[in-house]
Structure 1
Amino acid sequence: MTRRRGSLGGHTHEFADLAGLLAAATPERSGDVLAGVAASSEQERVAAQTVLADLPLTTFLDELVVPYETDEVTRLIIDTHDADAFAPIASLTVGGLRDHLLSPDTDTTALAPGLTPEMVAAVSKLMRVQDLVSVARRTPVVTAFRSTLGLPGTLATRLQPNHPTDDPTGVTASIVDGLLLGCGDAVIGINPATDSPARTTDLLHLVDEVRTRYDIPTQSCVLAHVTTSIEIMERGAPVDLVFQSVAGTQAANEGFGVTLAMLGEAHEAALSLRRGTVGTHCMYFETGQGSALSADAHHGVHQQTLEARAYAVCRAFDPLLVNTVVGFIGPEYLYDGMQITRAGLEDNLCGSLLGVPMGVDVCYTNHAEADADDTDTLLTLLGVAGCSFVICVPGGDDVMLHYQSLSFHDALYARQVLGLSPAPEFAGWLEKMEMLGADGRVREPALDSAAMRALTAGVR
């Protein structure tokens, strides 16, 4: 354990270890304050950032924030680190890495195997918003199953047709609503009201019937626990993507009822089904700043570095989709729109630098100090930053999970004003359904269009 000191304004600040330094250098957020690991003042935060800027990157390979001996996530990070990919930047400090990433000549995508989560979390703390956007935009991560996601100039969407009782008519109506506004190219993904194998299988058949009936080039997912997915795959259920929420420590993942071995078993089972047409990426993970803190499984480490460590878990299983639910856990961890916006951009950058296909659920709970102006701002910034996908729900209001997210119209707005397209295979389907204009932009279908006739007939 190495103590480090930084001086500012004639006062010396001391940081007991690497975890303490990283926490103190982090822009303020309520979760770190409640956990007792945040900087005590803005002066201490700036002093910590100054010390962090001069810290050699090799420090993160020698000094671990969560012990190797007791944490399988740490072992995964260290044991899979690619020394050859790291070699070109091995002599840099954290500040030097920031400068390197901001250089337009740097191939940021080639660095991923040589970077650890702690390194990318550290460098993000030295970046302002424009840096987070600029570097992420030049770091695309492309994945594929039935649609190809993450290509530059695209913004995909998860169509989230949740229903408080999993009513088939209600779910189907929400799917049609989203498809008519050009959403669903990343996945049609349902949070089930109950996690039973029977209910999960019924919902999967429902979505698969819609997909096959209209020949939609997308993938389906019912966000049940990974053990449920393994069970129903053995019974022949039409599983496209295996879902699981994950976190950045072994203890937090145990709280989710999951281990790395379990995820490996599910990944192999999903691959064996061979349901993809243009690719084989078949895992879907969700994360969120604060999950390890809320489970008291954070080992005294602040929430943003633990979030980046969750991306190392995701990376190990070659996922199609990963998204942070950036405002879902609540104001106890991200207090207001400013903290939510900053966290969403950090997560998008850190995941991308680690080679993870990042999406963001741009959202907030109703007791947070945030509103639709904040989600508009973050959505627009993420679109500029090259975010792979966002989550959309009918009317921006999830009636089952009781939180505010993006609406289908919000995705339409972002694509139109930023000149972004859906996934190419999905865009071809939209064109066939008379929903893609000559300029390549998604448009709301006319009442007599092929899409309106076909999809609305299907829900009656």
Structure 2
Amino acid sequence: MTIYTQQLAGTTYRFDGLVDLLAKATPLRSGDELAGCAAESDAERAAAQWALGDVPLDRFLTEAVVPYESDEVTRLILDRHDREAFRTVASLTVGGLRDRLLTDAAAPDATDTFVDLAPGLTPEMVAAVSKLMSNQDLVAVARAVTVTTAFRTTVGLPGRLATRLQPNHPTDDPRGIAAATLDGLLMGCGDAVVGVNPASDSPQATADLLCLLDEMRQRFEIPIQSCVLSHVTTTLALIEAGAPVDLVFQSIAGTEGANTGFGVNLAMLREANEAGRSLGRGTVGDNVMYFETGQGSALSAGAHLGTGGRPVDQQTLEARAYAVAREFDPLLVNTVVGFIGPEYLYDGKQIVRAGLEDHFCGKLLGLPMGVDVCYTNHAEADQDDMDTLLTLLGVAGVSFVITVPGADDVMLGYQSLSFHDALYVRRALGLRPAPEFEHWLRGLGMADDNGRILPVDPAASPLRALTGGAG
């Protein structure tokens, strides 16, 4: 274990290994305080960031944050590392990588540069450099990275912002889900996915919801993909039974122990990816996996300890989850940034920072990164904080965001974005829906030639039949 020291204002600060240094260098958040790994003062945090800036990037290939022998995520990260892609930055320190990223982001060929670099970066490298960056830096670099994926729509194209339409219902009532879906479609949402969190874990209830969404898609010839966010084992069984599965969903985390808590491992995810692709249901692409993550998930599962038994900071563990995701070429990945609660991200400031970090790290690692811009009602945050994060993410080129009726998910009991919020950020920043979805909207007179959503009378809409004729 390497001991890192840094003098600052006449005090020498000591950091026992890379795990400790990364944790102490992290911008303040309640989860790291809960885990007992946060810096004890702003001065110690500044000293840790200074010391982290001098760490050579190749140190991350020899000093594992979570032991290689006991963690399959670490083995995945190191065994899949592309040494040739890493060669262009191999001589840099973490601080040097920050300078390089900001320089590359300003270049006209930035996208190609970042695509080539992504396989050479480990999540720990990306997490480390994010700790040295301002919010502005995180936005500037992420905006320069383009990651596109496709199934029935193409997600991640420059100048586009897709949305997940989340029509959850406390009892999985079909008319309630249909009404919420109609509401979202009329406001131009759903081009990333129409994704329902089922209130029941019943396979039959999941199958019924899949059939409802697929019948709606086919009846109105909507170029969308649907997903019922059941456990991957349920989805695998439904694929075998012939259910109309578009995307295979799973929550994932950055350690083997946390994933075990979710009831999954890498082999299971490989099986699910192969099963989903075997159906051939995509029209413009074959990316079939959908992953959700969130800072604090490993800590909440008690699976956050790293080398030497030290707690790993939640943001570094979140970045490690992205290594799991990119192994399977997903259509969608999103961090549910404020969902776990104030024990992990205490207030609006911490949620905004975490959302920008997650988006930056995911895109830099080559993922089609989205964000559920959200908070729980007992957090020190409000919708103004979400407006701020949404706008920053729109500038940063986020692939998609999650939208729910009225910004209030009545089934999961948390606050997210509304369909109107998506209209706002698209209009304010000149962003358009996914091209295939936009073409459909224009064909129904629901969008103009610039992709802007037009007012529609629900009673006169051809989609009115979604709710059985109800207005």
User: Which residue matches 2:57?
Assistant: 57
Q: SS in structure 2 opposite 1:247?
A: coil
Root-mean-square deviation (Å): 1.2
Q: SS in structure 2 opposite 1:217?
A: coil
User: Which residue matches 1:174?
Assistant: 180
Please say if residues 39 and 45 of structure 2, whose CA atoms lie closer than 8 Å, have aligned partners that are also in contact.
yes
Instruction: Out of 298-307 and 108-117, give the one that drifted further.
Output: 108-117
Give the whole-Å Cα distance in 2 for the aligned partners of 1:447 and 1:255. Answer: 44
Give the whole-Å Cα distance in 1 for the aligned partners of 2:469 and 2:98. Answer: 52
Deviation string 1:158-202 (CA, Å, 9 cap, x unpaired) is 000000000011011000000000000000000000111111100
Please say if residues 220 and 463 of structure 2, whose CA atoms lie closer than 8 Å, have aligned partners that are also in contact.
no
User: Which residue matches 2:390?
Assistant: 379
Give the whole-Å Cα distance in 2 for the aligned partners of 1:330 and 1:458. Answer: 39
Matches within 5 A, 1:59-458: 59-103=59-103, 104-105=106-107, 106=110, 107-299=113-305, 300-446=311-457, 450-451=461-462
Give the whole-Å Cα distance in 2 for the aligned partners of 1:362 and 1:195. Answer: 25
Please say if residues 434 and 450 of structure 1, whose CA atoms lie closer than 8 Å, have aligned partners that are also in contact.
no
Q: SS in structure 1 opposite 2:57?
A: coil
User: Which residue matches 1:25?
Assistant: 25
Give the whole-Å Cα distance in 1 for the aligned partners of 2:215 and 2:73. Answer: 38
Please say if residues 182 and 464 of structure 2, whose CA atoms lie closer than 8 Å, have aligned partners that are also in contact.
no
Q: Which runs of 5+ in 2 are unaligned?
A: 306-310
Please say if residues 433 and 449 of structure 1, whose CA atoms lie closer than 8 Å, have aligned partners that are also in contact.
no
Q: SS in structure 2 opposite 1:58?
A: helix
Q: Residues 7 and 42 (structure 1 numbering): CA distance in 2 closer, same or farther, change over 3 Å? A: same
Q: Residues 372 and 114 (structure 1 numbering): CA distance in 2 closer, same or farther, change over 3 Å? A: same
Q: How far 1:449 sits from its partner (Å)? A: 5.8
Give the whole-Å Cα distance in 2 for the aligned partners of 1:177 and 1:450. Answer: 11
Give the whole-Å Cα distance in 2 for the aligned partners of 1:458 and 1:184. Answer: 21
Amino acid at match of 1:340: I
Please say if residues 182 and 463 of structure 2, whose CA atoms lie closer than 8 Å, have aligned partners that are also in contact.
no
Give the whole-Å Cα distance in 1 for the aligned partners of 2:235 and 2:469. Answer: 28
Q: SS in structure 2 opposite 1:51?
A: helix
TM-score (norm 2): 0.96
Identity %: 69
Q: Residues 220 and 415 (structure 1 numbering): CA distance in 2 closer, same or farther, change over 3 Å? A: same
Q: SS in structure 2 opposite 1:157?
A: strand
TM-score (norm 1): 0.98
Q: How far 1:437 sits from its partner (Å)? A: 1.7
Give the whole-Å Cα distance in 1 for the aligned partners of 2:217 and 2:13. Answer: 58
Give the whole-Å Cα distance in 2 for the aligned partners of 1:327 and 1:453. Answer: 34
Give the whole-Å Cα distance in 2 for the aligned partners of 1:207 and 1:130. Answer: 39
Deviation string 1:117-143 (CA, Å, 9 cap, x unpaired) is 000000000100110000000111100
Q: Residues 274 and 129 (structure 1 numbering): CA distance in 2 closer, same or farther, change over 3 Å? A: same
Give the whole-Å Cα distance in 2 for the aligned partners of 1:213 and 1:40. Answer: 59
User: Which residue matches 2:308?
Assistant: none
Amino acid at match of 2:73: V
Q: How far 1:331 sits from its partner (Å)? A: 0.1
Amino acid at match of 1:47: A
Give the whole-Å Cα distance in 2 for the aligned partners of 1:372 and 1:57. Answer: 39
Please say if residues 337 and 355 of structure 2, whose CA atoms lie closer than 8 Å, have aligned partners that are also in contact.
yes
Give the whole-Å Cα distance in 1 for the aligned partners of 2:453 and 2:67. Answer: 49
